[in-house]
């Protein structure tokens, strides 16, 4: 069926079409105008309110970079203004710019810290492209350098090292960091000879003591402190809140038992005094006496171990080895 429209209806539909087209066209014009307004940059204005940096580009060209406190940054190249695609807000008060060939490196130091933000860009066809970003914590690097001296057993350098003031150092001088480093040393030094191991363990005790004194107690001179005394280490570790040092000291004592037995015994006796429910201290000391033919001294400690069995288990330590019970039984039968 064919429906014929009257002239009035046709005119009415035409008016609606024209009106819709006008509205749609007007919206598109308004959108275009908004985009143009958003991308239009007043160069003189941003020069007045921003921080300007210059660097050489391709030898004879000078790049102008403008950084605003809002976090935005702009590159002026060949009389054109381009926004630099920076993902993180920069500290405009502490910026370092480097240009190499077509590469631009922007380094920003974060306020009140030693953390550096590094942003790398590349200029391709006169347009700037973001290559990548990274963060470098110079404070962390400094402490990693000190801890590396420990791993190398450089006790001499640690004793002579003048510590430097760094912001937020307390984040790195913690019980957790000491625990982590001590476990790492126990594992990583296993293949070293005894003399080298002793230097590594000494270096750990001396460095951790100096760090606590300097960064937590504000001590600047160390000459009057017994930095090589393990009892002094313990007092400072406990003051910091590191109370799980027993594994480290037991391993430390073993080194001396094989070479300078008196000091090894002193370490274990002090550890037993400080940590009376730590089983390994008793076992290592008793086994040392047993292996050195001092059966009576080892028997005293073995009996003490058996008498404290419930204390050891309660503290979630290893069960008492069966050979201890056999040795006690054998000696008592003699």
Within a domain: 22: no
Tell me, yes or no, whether 128 and 153 share the same domain: no
Last residue of a domain, one of 106, 138, 170: 138
Within a domain: 4: no
Tell me, yes or no, whether 185 and 267 share the same domain: yes
Within a domain: 253: yes
Tell me, yes or no, whether 133 and 198 share the same domain: no
Tell me, yes or no, whether 225 and 294 share the same domain: yes
CB 130 within 8 A of CB 119: yes
Q: Show Cβ contacts of residue 29 under 8 Å, excluding neighbours closer than 6 positions.
A: none
Output Rg (C-alpha) for the chain, integer angstroms.
36
Q: What is the dihedral of CA 141, 146, 150, 152, to 10 degrees?
A: 70
Tell me, yes or no, whether 227 and 275 share the same domain: yes
Tell me, yes or no, whether 240 and 294 share the same domain: yes
Within a domain: 32: no
Last residue of a domain, one of 138, 155, 182: 138
CATH number at residue 314: 1.25.40.10
Within a domain: 10: no
The pTM (predicted TM-score) of the whole model is 0.63
SS3 (DSSP) at 74: strand
Tell me, yes or no, whether 118 and 164 share the same domain: no
pLDDT of residue 245: 96
Tell me, yes or no, whether 194 and 295 share the same domain: yes
CB 317 within 8 A of CB 278: yes
Within a domain: 13: no
| Residue 75 domain boundaries | 43-138
The residue among 150, 140, 163, 147 whose CA lies nearest residue 219 is 163
Within a domain: 281: yes
Tell me, yes or no, whether 93 and 173 share the same domain: no
Within a domain: 292: yes
pLDDT of residue 197: 95
Tell me, yes or no, whether 99 and 144 share the same domain: no
pLDDT tens, N- to C-terminus, the chain (334 residues): 444 545 554 555 555 554 554 544 444 444 334 323 334 678 888 888 888 888 887 777 788 888 888 878 898 887 788 888 887 777 777 888 888 878 888 888 776 556 678 888 888 888 888 888 776 666 778 888 899 999 999 999 999 988 988 777 777 889 999 999 999 999 999 899 999 999 999 999 999 999 999 999 999 999 999 999 999 999 999 999 999 999 999 999 999 998 889 999 999 999 999 999 999 999 999 999 999 989 899 999 999 999 888 887 565 455 788 899 888 887 666 6
Enter the tokens of residue 306. Answer: 């058996």
Tell me, yes or no, whether 244 and 310 share the same domain: yes
pLDDT of residue 210: 96
Q: How many domains does the chain have?
A: 2
The residue among 121, 113, 118 whose CA lies nearest residue 136 is 118
Tell me, yes or no, whether 251 and 111 share the same domain: no
Last residue of a domain, one of 116, 138, 160: 138
Residue 99's CB is within 10 A of a number of other CB atoms, namely: 19
């Amino acid at each position: 069926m064919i429906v014929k429209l009257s002239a009035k209806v046709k005119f009415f539909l035409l008016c609606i079409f024209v009106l819709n087209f006008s509205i749609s066209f007007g919206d598109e014009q308004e959108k275009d105008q908004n985009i143009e307004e958003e991308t239009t940059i007043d160069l003189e204005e941003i020069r007045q309110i921003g921080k300007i940096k210059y660097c050489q580009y391709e030898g004879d060209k000078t790049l102008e970079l403008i950084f605003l406190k809002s976090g935005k940054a702009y590159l002026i190249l060949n009389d054109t203004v381009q926004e630099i695609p920076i993902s993180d807000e920069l500290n405009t008060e502490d910026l370092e710019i480097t240009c190499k060939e077509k590469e631009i490196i922007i380094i920003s130091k974060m306020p009140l810290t030693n953390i550096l933000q590094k942003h790398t860009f590349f200029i391709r066809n006169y347009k700037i492209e973001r290559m990548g970003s990274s963060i470098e914590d110079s404070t962390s690097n400094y402490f990693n350098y000190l801890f590396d001296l420990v791993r190398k057993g450089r006790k001499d350098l640690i004793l002579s090292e003048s510590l430097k003031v760094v912001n937020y150092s307390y984040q790195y001088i913690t019980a957790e960091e000491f625990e982590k480093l001590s476990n790492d040393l126990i594992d990583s030094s296993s293949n070293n000879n005894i003399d080298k191991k002793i230097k590594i363990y000494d270096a750990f005790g001396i460095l951790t003591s100096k760090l606590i004194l300097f960064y937590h107690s504000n001590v600047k001179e160390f000459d009057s402190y017994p930095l090589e005394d393990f009892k002094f280490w313990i007092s400072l570790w406990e003051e910091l809140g590191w109370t799980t040092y027993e594994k480290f000291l037991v391993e430390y004592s073993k080194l001396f038992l094989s070479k300078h037995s008196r000091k090894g015994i002193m370490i274990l006796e002090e550890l037993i005094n400080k940590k009376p429910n730590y089983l390994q201290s008793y076992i290592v000391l008793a086994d040392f006496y047993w292996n050195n033919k001092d059966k009576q001294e080892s028997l005293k400690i073995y009996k003490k171990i058996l008498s404290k069995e419930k204390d050891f288990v309660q503290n979630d330590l290893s069960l008492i080895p069966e050979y201890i019970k056999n040795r006690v039984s054998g000696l008592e039968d003699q």
